[in-house]
Amino acid sequence: MDRRKFFGAAMASTAAAGMVAAKDAKAQDAVARAARGMPSPKIRDVSVIECAPQGVRLTVVKVTTDQPGLYGYGCATYTQRADLVKPAVEKYIRPFLIGKPADRIEDTWQMLYNSSYWRNAADLNNAMSGVDQALWDIKGRQAGLPVYQLLGGKAREAIDTYGHASGSEIPEAIDAAKKYIAQGFRHVRIQVGVPGMAGYGSRAGGTRIPALHNAPVFEREGAKRRALALFEAARKELGPEIELLHDAHERYTPSEAVQLCKDLEQYRLFFLEDPLSPEDIMWFPNIRNQTSTPLAMGELFNSPHEWTPLIKDRLIDYMRMHISQMGGLTPARKVAAFGEIFNVRTAFHGPGDVSPIGHMAMTHLNLSITNFGIQEYSEMNDATREIFHGVPEMKNGYLWANDKPGWGMEIDEAAAAKHPFNRTDPMNGGWGEVRLPDGQIVKQ
């Protein structure tokens, strides 16, 4: 390679990195000048930033105050119905909040929660979550402290995580798990495709199984047998020390879920996720009374009426709520404290359809609580890092937060504009249908 070209490219890369660092430093300087000891900041504007740097539609709310340089970001991502969140923020929440104090987080959350009268709608919960997290970001910037300090300080140094290992065939899934283990992960979720059908968490090949329709097809008993075969092979190949997780993704009937949990006992799972759908949570006592397999549940919950009975009766081991679906950091920290009393640990939902702001909010909460269990980890590509500066850093299976004020993050809105939502998707971000062989729809 031409030495001049090599050094020229290196200098250009260094200059670009310097420009990003200078921009972030300028933003931090503005924060430092912004507000300590000054009167209560008022909300001057509430806006929405949309982008899809990894093909998943992310929504972030930005709350700007009347004090120069004082603003905050919050995750409002609801990728399956993303187009509903922006108007919810702009047409309903923004007019309601303009001129109100930015430092009364609890009061603002309660106002928003009650203002629609009909509560716990997924789109409004996500919109509220964006505002709530942004106000916590503002509070941290105002105080000159990372949010975890406002929550009581660190209870640990970093956040233990798990990665997603999958494959269309069992050896492929196990090889993917080995790659995570080689990177230092101590926990791995494993999923495998089921030949001829639409499984969850992995692609599958093979001839399509017989069905009375042309839609994607799923057959429960075949999927269950495949999962058991996967774990038998995984324990032989990976050994007893690695912690293994699996997602049933609410696709089984309650009686089938009971049997699956019992059959999986021998493989000593760290947890089985979503063995039931939210509509079937009254079946959890049946599972708990018949099996020792640890249970995780909650990513589809958006109401306290769903998670409260499972926690208070110790029917689950890990709460899996989605931070924007449940309404933000304010309810998440309350539920975490509630779970501590009953020794139910956290395993908050952290897939690619949580923005890096949401991942950072969960990281700060996880740092500060004593009943932390595990955190789902999703890798972020270069385009995501170009937009979101200061994302949690992954080292040897642990996530680390930076110590800058608030979330310690900035968003490059010009970079976000280069990765717009896909408007040509016929499902517009939604999930398609999956059916049993006889044509009955399957929950996803």
| CB of 105 closer than 8 Å to CB of 139 | yes
Cβ within 8 Å of residue 112, ≥6 positions away: 93, 96, 128, 131
Active-site residue, from 249, 359, 364, 389:
249
Cβ within 8 Å of residue 377, ≥6 positions away: 161, 162, 163, 350, 394, 399
Burial class (CB in 10 A: 0-12, 13-18, 19+), 117: exposed
The side-by-side arrangement of strands in the sheet containing 43-51 is 43-51, 58-65, 71-75
Query: What is the rounded distance in angstroms from the CA atom of residue 89 to the CA atom of residue 9?
Result: 43
- In angstroms, how far apart are the furthest CA atoms of the chain? 71
Residue 322 among the catalytic residues:
no
Could you say which DSSP state residue 360 is in?
H
Could you say which DSSP state residue 373 is in?
-
| Alpha-carbon distances of 69 from 62, 89, 108, rounded to whole Å | 12, 22, 21
Query: What is the rounded distance in angstroms from the CA atom of residue 333 to the CA atom of residue 316?
Result: 18
Q: Which of 107, 95, 109, 101 is nearest to 42 (CA)?
A: 101
Please report which helix (H) or strand (E) contains residue 411, including its range: strand 410-411
Could you say which DSSP state residue 80 is in?
G
| CB of 49 closer than 8 Å to CB of 63 | no
Sole residue written with tokens 């939604």:
430
Residue 249 among the catalytic residues:
yes
Active-site residue, from 71, 180, 200, 398:
200
What single-letter amino acid sits at 117?
A: Y
Sole residue written with tokens 């992960």:
185
Q: For the chain, how big is the Rg over CA atoms in Å?
A: 23
How far apart, in Å, do the first and last CA atoms of the chain sit? 51
Residues with a known catalytic role: 200, 249
